[in-house]
Amino acid sequence: MRTQELFKVLEDYQDKFLLFEYELNSLVGANYHITEVKHISIDSVDCGARTDTWKETIIQLWESPSEIGKTEYMSAYKALGILDKVGKMKPYDFDAEVKFEYSNAIFHTAQLFVNDFEIQGNNLIIKLGVEKTDCKAKSTCGVIEKVKEVVLIDELCCSPDGNCC
């Protein structure tokens, strides 16, 4: 999801509580705070010697230990206010991919992609997910992706090597 899309979702659902699902059926606690917004510029070289550049907006979520047991989540309206304030200090690149940085006692620190969102009653749930690392230069590096070959049983039995005829 692009930064602009996130802002649009927050604007459209300002009256909802804002929840984050970091794994299937696992929510960031209601005691979360938005503690940092990073405007990142990536300038990379992959293993095939190709260069690339892109931008990311990374929003850090932190669960306050002094608010454990809190049950009311931050509203999308409040989150939008925080993000708008940040944008006045450091302008956003609204085309940048948005990620959420999060961890807790049982979940490692990760930068999570926004996979989707859904509305459940008074809740706007942002669905986060981990994207696996990958080689961008497979053909250059000689990495062959294995494709499973499907063999039909009839072909196996009735082929010259099938021993059925």
Within 10 A of 30 (CB to CB), how many other CB atoms are there? 16
- Mean pLDDT on 73-102: 98
State residue 154's pLDDT score: 55
- Mean pLDDT on 62-80: 97
Tell the burial category of 28 from Cβ atoms under 10 Å away from its Cβ (0-12, 13-18, 19+): buried
> pLDDT tens digit string along 77-86?
999 999 999 9
Q: What is the pTM of this model?
A: 0.83
Return the higher-pLDDT residue of 19 and 151: 19
> pLDDT tens digit string along 107-160?
999 999 999 999 999 999 999 999 878 888 877 777 777 766 655 555 555 555
Please determine, for residue 163, whether its predicted confidence score (pLDDT) is greater than 70.
no
Tell the burial category of 32 from Cβ atoms under 10 Å away from its Cβ (0-12, 13-18, 19+): buried
Q: Kindly write down the DSSP assignment for every residue of 56-79, as one continuous string.
A: EEEEEEEE-GGGTT--PPPBHHHH
